[in-house]
Structure 1
Amino acid sequence: MSAPPTPPAEMPLFKDSRFKPMSTPCERADSYRPGGFHPVNLGDVLGQRYRVIRKLGYGSFGTVWLAIDLTRLSSYIALKIYAANVDSANELSIHQYLSANCQRDANSKFVLLLSDYFTLQGPNGKHICFVTKPMGPSISTFLNASFEEYDPLNPPTRRFSTSRNKHILKSILSGLKFLHDNNVTHGDLQLGNVLLPPRDLSTLQQSELEQNESNSQLDPLVRKDGKADRWSPKYLVVPEPLDAADVPQDEEVIKLIDLGGAFYSNNPPASVVTPLGLRAPETILQDKISPAIDIWSFGCIMFGLLTDNVLFELFTFSGERNTIDDDHLLQLSEIIGPLPEDMLAKWPRRGLYFGSGGNRLNTSPFDFDDSPFGQAKRARSKGRRDPPVPLTSLEDKFHEYRLSDVDAAEANEIASLLRDILHIDPLQRPTAAQLLERPWFRD
């Protein structure tokens, strides 16, 4: 049988996949192509010292694995293998810079730093590999994990107490203080990048940690043409993140991860990768950015943890950035407060929503959305333009959705704190260091 053709460097449509269809809940099989993911099979030894025993996760960047360090008895590490087309040079530079400064900074323990790195040459190109301590699930994964028993009449929810949330938020602030004190802005602060510590792996047998055909879902990859594929692994492995540690709160060290969107604060990029709903006003308007964008994202995260709700509900179905940005700015101007004139001047489409005197017009971003979603929405309204529904203020929204263990007095204190954090003017936002000195975080 002749050798198969080299796959294209671009991700194909599902119908054009070279593999037979499969429903494995993990990365697409076609991620393994030139410029894409490195093929890893359980038991592989990488970097001449790390033997892979378990898949922890994956993303657009590549894959993450649990491995044994063969040079140290019973020592486990996490191995993040980047796709060959991912430029991680800036992230590596920042990691090296931070590692050189971490010894003198107690807050460095709140950021997951590298213990090693190496490059890996494979059939899909050259891959950078980051080695770190293993961690437990992200806060996002933990809160959104499915329940073994589900009652549709009384659906369970997974949320933290306010005391636990305060501990998490202080950990995030401590990590931000370390980064900001060392001239680094995270740029992608979200609960998916905040990890809980894992249970003590030294108390477990290797057999309890490793994946294999008998205890995990390993789905063989089969080409449609029946040929052997040199660019992919033998099978796809369903990730199994490590369980979170069950330790006293004062012993729990929560860490910020993923500096792929980070930058040196004195040399900011033109754009950042902050999740849409967590963007600061200056990010939306493509204005000058600074560490204050992390503080804004932190404020949105704080609101979410303490209310089990989102601060800005963005409808991203259209995919049109103008629509999403306009919707975000309109919500921001009602929930937080009117944008100052210098910011309004940088909003190219504000005339669609405000009259010359600043009065709110009877329009919405979807009136100008040319995507199929926007067209369908206008068709359903049959040309009617209902007046915009006013949104409640930050304080009112927090009081409405606050967790049940937050009394009125504490709610007032938190709402005041959020008002300071979510200041329209980035120069007026408190720093991470200043926030850690606020009474609510010190109690």
Structure 2
Amino acid sequence: MTSPPATPPREVSFYDEDWRLEDIASDCEWAEEYRPGGFHPARILLRVSGQHKVSRAHSSELQDQIIDWRCSIPRYAVLEIMTAQSSTAFTELAILDHLSNSAPEDPNAQHITKLLKRFHHEGPNDNHQCLVFELMGASAASLVEELPENIPKLWGVPQRYAKPVAKKILIHALHGLKFMHKNGVVHGDLQPGNLLFSIENLDEVDQQQLEQNRTDAAIPLRRIDKKTDRWLETDFYVKLSDFGAESTVTPKGLRSPEVILKRPFGSSIDIWSFGCLMYEFLTSEPLLTVMTCGYDQEHRDKADDDHLIQLNGKIRPLPESIMRSWSRADRWYDLDHKQFCDFEPYKSLEQRFAKNKHPDIDDEEAATICQLIRVILVYDPAELLKQPWFFE
């Protein structure tokens, strides 16, 4: 008879020789986080805190696990179970409370996901803060893949929203940002995955119709040593979500110059991300592609340098203030800001947009959009909503 496995430490090692589970090729939370202080093993039909039943489970990113639940009253909502040692739970609660109490009658408030209640749940991996949100649908990142016109996925054929839908997503994101910034909150992680579509009222839908097949919902996790693991279990609206970050976690390609250079920042970092998303939604490709090939500082520095070089080539020449803050600028540019290297220059924003734009966008409109993207850093959300393109 084999001995039981040792209790894993609360901190996850980044060295694969210390991992206890086999690697899985799936877009889901990192399995090694199922340990004391980590994820709670939620499963279909699990009752949380005695009254909330899990109907569908969704994979998540970073520290949170998103699931649907149905409580004792006939109402569906979304339950977010924080990791037991999550440092973001208090931050997210404070932000949500602040936004909930900040002029709820403001029409822009309807573009922020609503917190309905909160409670704690004791599980095998410690005590978890649980947040209950209004029921929302798919994210802007995932829904585009399910549109009939994008199925089947074909090589070389872009997956994108129709222009009116893309425009409406952008408008609603701006309304949400306007409300947040007006009330002193910076999102810090504006990306398609945090733009959620509204969903029809499901209160009258039979629970069995919504319950996810347990086999489909489960991805088998197996220990490397083959032992049994004790810390696992076998007319739309768009709203901003995920307010729990204690620091900026913006995807690399959506970072503003001040985030790249670790300078003080404010709400303008959300506006910068919005400008990049505007290009992305209308072309189905990222404006700035930044890759990190390693975790050490040297690799991070190379990625940051590449990001700034792309900004200089695709958007506009970097100003003197950024060049002075960029400690490695002299590796790439002379005192007159001319490149040392003779690598092929990046195509400009206008050239790239003309090549990849939605077919419903003509040349005149393309010029307007590119001009708007170029000036987007100097506008706040309230000013951007005055731009005529959004309402044409």
One fold, TM greater than 0.5? yes
Question: Hey, what does 1:266 align to over in structure 2?
Answer: none
Question: Hey, what does 2:391 align to over in structure 1?
Answer: 442
**Amino acid in structure 2 at the alignment position of 1:261:** A
Deviation, structure 1 residue 14: 5.2
Matches of 1:171 and 1:129, distance apart in 2? 27
Deviations 1:356-376 (A, max 9, x none): 3332102xxxxxxxxxxxxxx
Question: Hey, what does 1:259 align to over in structure 2?
Answer: 243
Question: Hey, what does 2:129 align to over in structure 1?
Answer: 128
Distance 1:90 1:25, change over 3 A: closer
Q: Are the equivalent residues in 2 in contact too, given 1:52–1:65 (CA < 8 A)?
A: yes
Deviation, structure 1 residue 124: 1.5
Matches within 5 A, 1:416-435: 416-421=371-376, 423=377, 429-435=378-384
2:203 counterpart SS class: helix
1:402 aligns with 2:357: yes
Deviation, structure 1 residue 276: 0.6
Deviation, structure 1 residue 185: 0.6
Distance 1:409 1:83, change over 3 A: same
Deviations 1:67-122 (A, max 9, x none): 1011x22x101111111121121111010111112422111111112111112222
1:296 counterpart SS class: helix
Distance 1:417 1:156, change over 3 A: closer
Matches within 5 A, 1:175-190: 175-190=176-191
- The structure with the largest alpha-carbon Rg is 1
Matches of 1:26 and 1:176, distance apart in 2? 28
**Farther-moved stretch of structure 1 (406-415 vs 197-206):** 197-206
Matches within 5 A, 1:312-391: 312-319=288-295, 320-362=299-341, 387-391=342-346
Deviations 1:221-278 (A, max 9, x none): 5667776644222x1xxxxxxxxxxxxxxx311111100226xxxxxxxx52111100
1:43 counterpart SS class: coil
Deviation, structure 1 residue 161: 1.6
Q: Are the equivalent residues in 1 in contact too, given 2:139–2:193 (CA < 8 A)?
A: yes
Count of residue pairs brought into register by the alignment: 385
Matches of 1:354 and 1:298, distance apart in 2? 29
TM-score, normalised to structure 2, is: 0.90
**Amino acid in structure 1 at the alignment position of 2:45:** G
**Contiguous gaps of at least 5 residues in structure 1:** 236-250, 263-270, 363-386, 424-428
**Amino acid in structure 2 at the alignment position of 1:82:** M
Deviations 1:379-413 (A, max 9, x none): xxxxxxxx221123223332332211011221122
Matches of 1:21 and 1:291, distance apart in 2? 39
Question: Hey, what does 2:9 align to over in structure 1?
Answer: 8
Q: Are the equivalent residues in 2 in contact too, given 1:193–1:256 (CA < 8 A)?
A: yes
Aligned with residue 392 of structure 1, among 343, 347, 370: 347
Matches of 1:224 and 1:345, distance apart in 2? 50
Deviations 1:279-328 (A, max 9, x none): 11111111120101100000000011112222112232345111011111
Question: Hey, what does 2:193 align to over in structure 1?
Answer: 192
Q: Are the equivalent residues in 2 in contact too, given 1:150–1:156 (CA < 8 A)?
A: no
Q: Are the equivalent residues in 2 in contact too, given 1:141–1:192 (CA < 8 A)?
A: yes
Root mean square deviation, CA, Å: 2.6
Deviation, structure 1 residue 146: 9.5
**Amino acid in structure 2 at the alignment position of 1:401:** N
TM-score, normalised to structure 1, is: 0.80
Distance 1:438 1:27, change over 3 A: closer
Identity value in percent: 36
**Amino acid in structure 2 at the alignment position of 1:173:** L
**Amino acid in structure 2 at the alignment position of 1:190:** Q
Distance 1:351 1:17, change over 3 A: closer
1:65 aligns with 2:56: no
2:115 counterpart SS class: coil
Deviation, structure 1 residue 40: 1.9
**Amino acid in structure 1 at the alignment position of 2:276:** C
Deviation, structure 1 residue 186: 0.4
Question: Hey, what does 2:253 align to over in structure 1?
Answer: 277
Question: Hey, what does 2:271 align to over in structure 1?
Answer: 295
Deviations 1:27-73 (A, max 9, x none): 34432111111122322222332111210232221311111011x22
Q: Are the equivalent residues in 2 in contact too, given 1:115–1:133 (CA < 8 A)?
A: yes
Q: Are the equivalent residues in 1 in contact too, given 2:145–2:151 (CA < 8 A)?
A: no
Deviation, structure 1 residue 199: 4.1
Matches of 2:278 and 2:151, distance apart in 1? 29
1:166 aligns with 2:150: no
**Contiguous gaps of at least 5 residues in structure 2:** none
1:104 counterpart SS class: coil
Deviation, structure 1 residue 16: 4.9
Question: Hey, what does 1:247 align to over in structure 2?
Answer: none
Question: Hey, what does 2:112 align to over in structure 1?
Answer: 111
Deviation, structure 1 residue 23: 5.9
